[in-house]
A and B are shown apart, each in its own frame.
Chain A
Amino acid sequence: METMTAVDAVDAVNAVNTDSEAAAALLDGASRVCNAGNEPVAVVELRGASASVAGRTLWGGVDLTVECGEFVAVLGPNGVGKSTLVKVLLGVLPAATGEVRVLGHRPGTAGAQIGYLPQRRSFDASLRIRGIDVVRLGLDGDRWGIPLPGTGRFGGAKRREAEARVREAIELVGASAYAHRAIGECSGGEQQRLLIAQALVRKPRLLVLDEPLDSLDLPNQASVAALIGRISRSEDVAVVMVAHDVNPILPYLDRVVYLADGGAASGTPEEVITTETLSKLFRTPVEVLRASDGRLVVVGGPEAPVMHSDRHAGALVGGDRRATDGRVTDGRAADGRAMDRRVADGRAMDRRATDRRPAGSEADDAR
């Protein structure tokens, strides 16, 4: 496999990091119970996994272990198969090669232990169903029987329990204020929070999110990212999130998987999103620039997936041209500065660093 060099390099770094990570896990263990009452297995484990669609290999050589409570981003250019990785994790599509374990089992067998948020879907403005009903459908909408969430098919105790769980999930995402409004009347950010509550309502151990920040405005991207980061810690749920721009979630990430045509690289963000690793992965000169506010900009390569430009506009700008086009990178840094101050510049952005993140990001979230 041509891309093994990049993957090998990352593996070597991972091996060095193992000791410090074990120490961190011990430290964390004091404040939260990880995997309480469950088998001590990794939430997601990929070993040399690759995927192919119609005989074409999309990506390959993915080695990834996601432990409970970790927040992992899946990055890569458009069309590289990020959503395919989600399908592999959900068991909808088998991996072409390698081994995939989700919660210690074959993908697709974990059922209610996985919460899934598909790629951006918005509700029609005239849809007259409350947010709380949409969340409730996530709890028991797949059961046969009486259609009405909240009417007495079950005994009172069971019904109250279900209602309490729905309320809890809504409070967790801070959506109580608008959960009783018709969901079509909620803003994009409000809808996304309710959908996250829907994915969380069955208390999953793994949350799979497919571009949840896509088509949100910048303040909402920041606050929803902060929300997901907080939930991954407080609810002890591992998050695998397909992202098109790493910057809003960068402070909360434990690990990233960078997918490329035929290959992949995984590790902590500061290991993977570097000029060296990405240049090797894409087999073409790629430059990772860090703006003064800590935002990362990938310049060159087949596309610029970590810029939060409009994804369609981004594809129009060629790699070489962008390297010399100061306007593009400047523009991104300028519009990001207003809302991403909390990204500490140059600081190591592993989980120890995120614990020190300012409370301001959560304040957005509690709006």
Chain B
Amino acid sequence: MPADSGLSWNLLSDIDQMWKLDSMVNAYRAGTIVAVLAAVVGWFVVLRRQTFVAHTVSLAGFPGAAAAVFLGVSASWGYFGFCIGAAAVIAALARSGKGGMAEESALTGIVQSFTLACGMLFVALYKGFLNGVNSLLFGSFLGVTPGDIAVLAVVAVVVLLAMALIGRPLLFASVDPAVADARGVPSRTLSLLFLVLLGATAAEVSQITGSLLVFALLVMPAATAQRITARPGRSLVLSVVFALAVTWFGLGAAYFSPYPIGFWITTFAFGCYLLANLYGFAARWRGAGRRQVAEALGVS
């Protein structure tokens, strides 16, 4: 960290100073793109209870980036190639039928351990790479180039457009698969497509938060939003708001402190989740408590 990056008493001038650095502006641009994408895709991950698959697909970013560095190409290629590849493997091997995606946990675990093993192999092959392992796993926002941002933006737009197209049938198939099937919603095709979109999203998020902390943006904001409201529209918007806030504050905090970005984003997201839970308990205690007591007395 540069010596002059500590916080002074004037917050505005500090922020002004931070924005003067191209690297920080790029980091904010990349973070904003990634936050919006992660919040939207993550909302469906939480709703569909596919967090384990999401975790596995994100971990595939680690061997991907390690392989890319080992081969001397841009880490982006490694992230996208391995994350989408892992998603495609899970999609291809997951058996169709009752429960569908919910029963694939063994397969997901197998893919997860194999990707981690591959990651260690590439780290071992590339000697002297050990410093980079930390940022691959726990995130780094330095060195985001305008080219990276362009790739992030293009992929995010493509994924978000696809989500807008399949969103409603996907929601139907996620909430109520039996009826959706009877209505002719191609739920198996949709869940395979969603896995691939998830792979692309995980690859994007990995580049900011690191492979291990993808959940900070992919799961925590969505889980927080769904905790606060059960209205799909509102919770999707809230999820984006939380992801953006967490990313922006996380980047700022990481700039003004010696601690890594992944830690800050995760901590802020976790704080939001705790507060949302408190809010949920309070709302339930206040609103539904009386009704539940009445029901309990009436029934028993």
A147 adjacent to B171 (CB under 8 Å): yes
A174 within 8 A of B: no
**Segment 232-266 of B: residues with Cβ below 8 Å from A:** 232-233, 235-236
Q: What are 8 A-B contacts defined by CB distance under 8 Å?
A: A128-B226, A128-B235, A129-B47, A133-B230, A141-B183, A144-B165, A181-B230, A199-B179
Assuming the contacts A128-B235, A129-B232, A133-B231, asked whether A148 and B183 have C-beta atoms less than 8 A apart, the reply is no
Apart from A142-B169, A143-B168, A147-B170, 10 more pairs, CB < 8 Å: A118-B179, A124-B49, A128-B226, A129-B230, A137-B172, A145-B168, A149-B171, A149-B232, A182-B230, A198-B179
| Binding site secondary structure of chain B | helix
Q: What is the CB-to-nearest-CB distance from A44 to chain B, in angstroms, rounded to a whole number?
A: 17
Task: Check A130 against B179 for contact (C-beta < 8 Å).
Answer: no
Q: Given known contacts A128-B227, A147-B163, A181-B230, is B172 in contact with A116 (CB within 8 Å)?
A: no
Contact of A148 among B178, B182, B230, B232 (CB under 8 A): B232
A116: chain B residues at CB < 8 Å are: 179, 182
State whether the Cβ of B94 lies closer than 8 Å to any Cβ in chain A.
no
Are B164 and A146 interface neighbours, CB within 8 A? yes
Contact status A143-B169, CB under 8 Å: yes
Residues in chain A within 8 A of chain B (CB atoms)? 90, 116-119, 121, 123-124, 127-130, 133-134, 137-138, 140-151, 181-182, 185, 195, 198-199
Please, which residues of chain B bring their CB within 8 A of the CB of A137? 168, 171-172, 175-176, 179-180
Q: In chain B, what residue has the closest Cβ to A147?
A: B167
With A130-B230, A149-B232: A144-B175 Cβ-Cβ less than 8 Å: no
A142 contacts B178, C-beta separation under 8 Å: no
The 7 closest A-B pairs by CB, nearest first: A147-B167, A141-B172, A182-B230, A118-B178, A128-B226, A148-B233, A142-B183
Q: Which residues of A sit under 8 angstroms from B185, Cβ to Cβ?
A: 141-142
B236–A148 CB distance below 8 A: yes
Is B184 among interface residues, defined by CB-CB distance under 8 A? yes
Q: Which of B167, B168, B231, B233 contacts A140 (CB 8 A)?
A: B168
List, in ascending order, chain B residues with CB within 8 A of A148's CB.
Answer: 167-168, 232-233, 236
Measured between beta carbons, the chain A residues less than 8 angstroms from B171 are 137, 141, 147, 149
Contact A90 B182 (CB under 8 A): yes
Let me know if B167 and A146 touch, CB within 8 A. yes
Tell me how far the C-beta of B168 lies from the nearest C-beta in chain A, rounded to whole angstroms.
5
| Cross-interface CB contact of B175 among A118, A134, A140, cutoff 8 Å | A134
Whether, in the assembled complex, B125 has its beta carbon less than 8 Å from a beta carbon of chain A, the answer is no
Q: Which residue of A lies closest to B229 (CB)?
A: A128
Q: Mark B183-223, 1 if CB is under 8 A from A, else 0.
A: 11100000000000000000000000000000000000000
Minimum C-beta distance from B187 to chain A (A): 10
- B15 contacts partner chain A, Cβ-Cβ < 8 Å: no
Contact between B168 and A147 (Cβ–Cβ < 8 Å)?
yes
Q: Is the CB of A141 within 8 A of B169?
A: yes
